[in-house]
Amino acid sequence: MMDLSELERDAICELVNIGIGQAARSLGKMVDDRVLLTIPALELVEYANVLAMLGTETDAAVTAIKERFSGAFQGDAILVFPEKHSLDLVRSLLDEDMPIESLTELEQESLLEVGNIVLNACLGTFINILSCRLEIDLPVLFRGSIAKVLGQRATADNTIYMVMRIDFTTQKKMIKGYLVFLFDSDFTTTFLAQIHSYIRMQR
């Protein structure tokens, strides 16, 4: 288990907050509504703790938007919503009040775009501030259990997740989502090394 120092935690939070601030502006512009995005917590945890942080069971249904990133560090950036909340978010943004029977094609696309905006904003900040090179693929939508969403590596012993809760606050409601960064093999270390150099530069 890798612990984060207070400093590291603050640095990452700051980066992500810069990114999602931008994302909030983009979203707000699109839907003519003020959207507030906040990151109240960040942890580096193992799989079991991911579930605890997400407050969900292994087989509970979730909706996730996943983007694969590669380059300076490699892995998946995932925005996870408990099933119902993902629709709540889309419908809240689209100002539609519909029953939750199904996610239509266009709603799925909208959800993808929201994920794209949020995840790109975070990753873009990493790229800008850490001056590293990353290639980021198109977002993909997953629905199913958290285990399925996280993939085969999910339960591997040494897999470390960087998990942040992200709150979407529109004028109507607040919707909770989670940002999960899942680095391939040793890239967590690489990422933290980058963070360290960033912290040094700030001093």
Residue 76: CB minimum distance to other proteins, A: 14
Q: Minimal CA–CA distance to 93: which of 37, 140, 143, 28?
A: 28
- Per CB under 8 A, contacts with other proteins among 103-142 are 104-107, 109-110, 112-114, 116-117, 120, 123-124, 127-128, 133-139
Neighbours of 187 (CB within 10 A): 19
Candidates 102-110, 143-151, 155-163, 189-197; binding stretch for other proteins (CB under 8 A): 102-110
- Smallest separation, CB 78 to other proteins (Å): 16
Instruction: Look at residues 154, 152, 116, 153 and name the one whose alpha carbon lies nearest to residue 136.
Output: 116
- Strand pairing report for 174-183 and 75-82: antiparallel
What is d(CA 133, CA 33) in angstroms, rounded to the nearest whole number? 33
Question: In terms of Cα–Cα distance, which of 99, 115, 95, 112 is closest to 31?
Answer: 95
Task: Report in angstroms how near the CB of residue 191 gets to other proteins at its nearest.
Answer: 17
- Determine the residue type at 198: Y
Tell me, what DSSP letter sits at residue 95?
Answer: T
Using the rule CB under 8 A, give the single segment among 34-42, 94-102, 164-172, 173-181 that binds other proteins: 94-102
Q: Binding of other proteins at residue 35 (CB under 8 A)?
A: no
Q: Which is nearer to other proteins, 122 or 163 (CB)?
A: 122
Q: 9-28 mask for other proteins (x: CB under 8 A)?
A: -----------------x--
Closer to other proteins by CB, 112 or 147: give it.
112
Q: At what angle do helices 83-94 and 105-130 cross, to 10 degrees?
A: 90
Site pattern 51..90 for other proteins (x: CB under 8 A): ----------------x---x-------------------
Count Cβ atoms below 10 Å from residue 105 Cβ, excluding itself. Answer: 8
CA nearest to 54, candidates 160, 150, 176, 182: 176
Interface with other proteins (CB under 8 A), residue total: 35
Binding site for other proteins (CB under 8 A): 26, 29-32, 67, 71, 93-94, 98-99, 101, 104-107, 109-110, 112-114, 116-117, 120, 123-124, 127-128, 133-139
